[in-house]
Amino acid sequence: MADYIVQLSDQVANQIAAGEVVGRPASVVKELVENAVDAGGTDIVVFVKDAGRTLIQVIDNGKGMSEEDARKCFLRHATSKITSADDLLTLMTKGFRGEALASISAISHVELKTRETGSELGLKMCVTGDEFTDSEPISCAEGSSFSVKNLFFNVPARRNFLKSDQVEVRHIVDEFQRIAMAHPQLSFRLQSNGNDLFNLKPGTLRQRVVAIFGVKHDERLVPIDEETDVVKISGFVGKPSFSRRTRGEQFLFVNGRYIKHPLMHRAIMKAYEGVLTPGNFPLYTIFLEVDPSKVDVNIHPTKMEAKFEEDQIIFAFLRSAIKRGLGQHNVSPSLDFDSELSISIEGLPQGKFVSEPRVQVNTDYNPFLSSSSKQQSGSHKTSNPYRKSPSAIPKDIDAFYSRPAIDVSEPEQESTLQESSLDAIVEGKTSLKCDEIFQLQNKYIVTSKDDVLLIIDVKRAHERVLYEGYLNAGRGGETEVAQRLLFPEPVTLSNADIDLLLGAADVLKIFGLVIAKSPSGGLEVLAVPSGMADKLQNCIDSVLEALQDGTWTDVEGRREKLAKVWAESSAVNKKVALNKEEMVNLVDRLFACESPGIDARGRSVFTNFTVDHIESKLK
């Protein structure tokens, strides 16, 4: 019988393992920068070209490597971080699995230049697809320099799955920010295609947050500090008034390592209950210090997941610490249990007495009398208020209850609604000219046409009209969607976000969003889509979200995403009073849409009732 099971070669095994460790260029940046931190580097520089496809270079001034260590570092499961399984219980370094460099070298061309502290000469080593191709002594600075070129050169399928340069650069920025945030005492620099995205100097955590997100974030930070036997909590959270619709400013660290933990994120969001706008996300940079033996970070090759032995206790402490921090800075209501809760009442002055209160009653008061009756003589005070005067009763009682006569001299016009049917109106094939129209609770428009009663949700109708307006922007239509601002409006964003938006400026101009680089190096908005002048932050956030989540390369997907968010943001409030002209205009514009029956989120905009339906309900 033939044998079918074979052992894979090291090269194939490394290419398979690389799929777990290296998903995109940002994964390479993460692994190399973490190694630079573990090597003791205090000045770390990252150069990226073509979003990492062509080049990723990480330079540090750490302790460097000997020739033997330089060779071993590219082997699978070769690491200087641990020597036995017991070391996992006291792990404090970033890397420890010994898979990063082996996986990276299996799918790229790697050039390493390194020199140990105190050595006169360094070493240059080249590795291509797991094979050592060159090695020679050179003169170089102390520390290490890894250059990763032609990523995924031998795995073309993986290279084809990469997103646009804007999306990949955004992922690189995310990984860079996470490591830089965890080590504010170190210097970091990130350069993309010759442009500096970040140049971070050593400082405090507050200074690092401000350096990454902008100077305006300094006033938005609320410090958090709590220490217990289980966990030490420190860092900053953002004030609820500065929350954003998009994620990206949420950082949670455990023993200096960035992690994603849904339970801890839920604890943070619970602390904001009642003070945060639904659907928004606050800024937070929180550090948890836990006994390493009570947390497991060896779950996933990317080391971004963790399990806590006492997660429920940490959940409670974290929520409490944030609520207390917000309360101390007058951001949310807080109870001060240290203050005296009893009521202090001063005694009466000596010689003063309190008299019993007396109620004054007007025995002649009659609530059924009108104001005119009250001015008359007392003989009318007890008259029946429900009794009408003889002059108010019609003499001909039959005429009082009779219906007004109908003029039949002119022929009755045929019903336009019956000719076109409600389906035709919904499809936008005919306009709806209302006989009568009014508003119910400032929320619904009620109108009728012959035997059909329509009830229209004002907000959803407005959303639909705006959605199709934004959706058709730039398609050769005559509708003007750009609203020019009187003065350029500066926007506070990180350098990475500014670079991302400026790269998409030509496309955004089609949608009515005109941006430019300000003389100070920031970003300023010159024009916005109609109705978004007071929703500028939501407008920018939605663009950043589309740029980051991969929908930007899909032209129609990008158009629909932006149109949806902008329509929801600029539509009228849930309840708004409209005059008749405004109601008629909204109804006409609604039924001129391609799909007036649903709003941007697919919900029903209106409902209708026929006479038969109403009569069936009254039986």
pLDDT tens, position by position, 472-512: 876 654 445 677 888 888 887 777 788 778 878 888 887 78
The pLDDT assigned to 331 comes to: 64
Give the separation between CA 498 and CA 500, rounded to whole angstroms. 5
pLDDT digits (tens, 9 = 90+) for 402-445: 544 444 444 443 333 333 344 544 444 445 555 588 888 888 98
The pLDDT assigned to 183 comes to: 95
CATH class (in words) of the domain with range 417-619: alpha beta
- Joined together, the tokens standing for residue 464 give 């639909």
Distances (CA, A) of 177 to 258, 441, 521, 567: 10, 49, 20, 32
Of the candidate ranges 36-50, 123-137, 250-264, the one whose mean pLDDT is the lowest: 123-137
Q: How is residue 131 annotated by DSSP?
A: E
Kindly state the average pLDDT of the residues 383-390. 44
**Residue 38 banded pLDDT, cuts 50, 70, 90:** very high
Please name which of 520, 566, 516 lies closest in space to residue 541, comparing C-alpha atoms: 566
| Main-chain dihedrals φ then ψ at residue 152, nearest 5 degrees | 65, 30
The pLDDT assigned to 417 comes to: 34
Kindly state the average pLDDT of the residues 540-569. 74
- 10-42 b/e with 16+ CB inside 10 Å = b? eeeebbebbeebbbbbbbbbbbbbbbbbbbebe
Amino acid at 230: V
For residue 114, what are the β-bridge partners? 123, 144
Q: How is residue 81 annotated by DSSP?
A: S
Give the separation between CA 212 and CA 226, rounded to whole angstroms. 25
The answer to whether 258 and 303 have CB atoms below 8 angstroms apart is no
Given the DSSP bridges, would you call strands 55-60 and 43-49 parallel, antiparallel or unpaired? Answer: antiparallel
Q: How is residue 407 annotated by DSSP?
A: -
Place of tokens 């750490």: 62
Share of the chain above pLDDT 70, in %: 80
pLDDT digits (tens, 9 = 90+) for 199-248: 999 999 999 999 988 887 888 899 999 999 999 999 999 998 888 877 77
Torsion of CA 23, 25, 27, 33, to 10 degrees: 170
The pLDDT assigned to 475 comes to: 63
pTM of the shown model:
0.68
- Provide CB contacts within 8 A for 228, sequence distance 6+: 317
Kindly state the average pLDDT of the residues 19-27. 84
Helix (H, G, I), strand (E, B) or coil at 83: coil
- Joined together, the tokens standing for residue 548 give 């980051």
The pLDDT assigned to 508 comes to: 83
Of the candidate ranges 105-109, 368-372, 547-551, the one whose mean pLDDT is the lowest: 368-372
The pLDDT assigned to 264 comes to: 93
Domain boundaries, the chain: 10-200, 205-328, 417-619
pLDDT at 311 over 60: yes
Please name which of 17, 176, 173 lies closest in space to residue 101, comparing C-alpha atoms: 17
Amino acid at 61: N
The pLDDT assigned to 433 comes to: 55
The pLDDT assigned to 5 comes to: 85
The answer to whether 546 and 508 have CB atoms below 8 angstroms apart is no
Give the separation between CA 483 and CA 464, rounded to whole angstroms. 19
Of the candidate ranges 53-62, 156-165, 313-322, 383-392, the one whose mean pLDDT is the lowest: 383-392
Question: 395: how many CB neighbours lie within 10 A of its CB?
Answer: 7
The answer to whether 199 and 211 have CB atoms below 8 angstroms apart is no
Give the separation between CA 201 and CA 42, rounded to whole angstroms. 10
**Residue 553 banded pLDDT, cuts 50, 70, 90:** low
Chain mean position to CA 125: 44
The pLDDT assigned to 127 comes to: 92
The answer to whether 473 and 510 have CB atoms below 8 angstroms apart is yes
- Joined together, the tokens standing for residue 169 give 């650069």
Kindly state the average pLDDT of the residues 434-459. 83
pLDDT at 524 over 80: yes
Domain 205-328 has CATH 2.60.40.10: no
Helix 165-182 and helix 536-548: axis angle, to 10°?
100
Rg (CA), the chain: 36
**Residue 334 banded pLDDT, cuts 50, 70, 90:** very low
| Main-chain dihedrals φ then ψ at residue 209, nearest 5 degrees | -60, -45
Torsion of CA 8, 14, 16, 20, to 10 degrees: 150
Give the separation between CA 107 and CA 100, rounded to whole angstroms. 11
For the chain, report the end-to-end CA distance as a whole number of angstroms.
83
Please name which of 167, 62, 163 lies closest in space to residue 115, comparing C-alpha atoms: 62
pLDDT at 470 over 70: yes
Distances (CA, A) of 564 to 497, 554, 561, 589, 601: 21, 15, 5, 18, 8
- Among the four given CATH numbers 3.40.1280.10, 2.30.110.10, 3.30.565.10, 3.10.110.10, the one describing domain 10-200: 3.30.565.10
pLDDT digits (tens, 9 = 90+) for 56-115: 999 999 999 999 999 989 888 888 887 777 777 777 788 777 788 988 998 999 999 999
Place of tokens 């609820």: 240
- Provide CB contacts within 8 A for 264, sequence distance 6+: 252, 288, 311, 314, 315, 318
Kindly state the average pLDDT of the residues 546-557. 67
Question: 279: how many CB neighbours lie within 10 A of its CB?
Answer: 8
